[in-house]
Structure 1
Amino acid sequence: MERKIVTVTIDRKLGSKHPHFDMIYPINYGYIKGIMGGDGEEQDAYIVGVDTPLDSFTGEVIAVVERFNDCEEKWVVAQTGSEYTKEELEKLLEFQEKYFQHEIHVMDK
């Protein structure tokens, strides 16, 4: 997958509580309308590099989290031109990805 520009609709804002688990979102999290994920729902996406709660965000897909024990992958979206290492993304996404066997694939610019 190449880097592409997408718009994420945020349904779990930074600082909000997960609807089913005792977890507070340390980043914005949402979905991309019109792109279907492996679970039959719209594609989920993490927003990194923004420290305020958002309603929506347009940015670049910089990485994909491939989950081995789940039916879907998560996209990582940041401001266009942003660069993160795999290790930096592991730390940012650990709050949720620690529950899954996964691999983060960082995309080249």
Structure 2
Amino acid sequence: MTDRSADHDSVSLALARPFLGRTVDLTFDRPYGSRHPRCGFLYTVNYGYVPGTLAPDGQELDAYYLGPDEPLATARGRCIAIVHRLYDDDDKLVVVPPASPDLDDAAIAVAVEFQESPGEYVVVRQ
């Protein structure tokens, strides 16, 4: 599932790429254990955004924080990958706590399966 090429670059992916490998501060508007306001699904990770960014959807750049299984308001972590959506210009950063090891693509897929459908995205890394 990993895509290391520029074949699928979109506006969202171009915005997300500079964050790869960097420390990122996140704010969570959908913390672990909350429900999506319209779709009703359960957030099994802390989900939020990078303050001060602007993605193609008019909102901040989104991020999955694959850290502790508890609701957080904010966190700092290391961006290890991007969930690049193939049919929607709304890519998501994949961020882990600073001292955490990198996760493989399979572990990322399991962590984001509550919102991402297999075959509709690729994992992009440096």
Residue 18 of structure 1: which of 36, 42, 47 is its match? Answer: 36
Question: Are the equivalent residues in 2 in contact too, given 1:6–1:58 (CA < 8 A)?
Answer: yes
Residue 9 of structure 1: which of 27, 30, 48 is its match? Answer: 27
* Correspondence for 1:86: 105
Paired positions, count: 107
Q: CA deviation at 1:38?
A: 2.6
Identity, % of aligned positions: 35
Amino acid at match of 1:105: V
Amino acid at match of 2:25: T
Q: CA deviation at 1:100?
A: 7.1
Question: Are the equivalent residues in 2 in contact too, given 1:27–1:47 (CA < 8 A)?
Answer: yes
Which consecutive residues of structure 1, in runs of 5 or more, have no partner in the other structure? none
Amino acid at match of 1:102: Y
**After alignment, is 80-89 or 24-33 more displaced?**
80-89
**After alignment, is 63-72 or 91-100 more displaced?**
91-100
Question: Are the equivalent residues in 2 in contact too, given 1:86–1:105 (CA < 8 A)?
Answer: no
Residue 96 of structure 1: which of 76, 101, 115 is its match? Answer: 115
- Poorly superposed stretches of 4+, deviation over 4 Å: none
CA distance in 2, matches of 1:100, 1:90: 11
Larger % of strand: which?
1
Larger relative contact order (Cα-Cα within 8 Å, sequence gap ≥ 6): 2
Q: CA deviation at 1:99?
A: 7.5
SS for the counterpart of 1:97 is coil
CA distance in 2, matches of 1:100, 1:35: 27
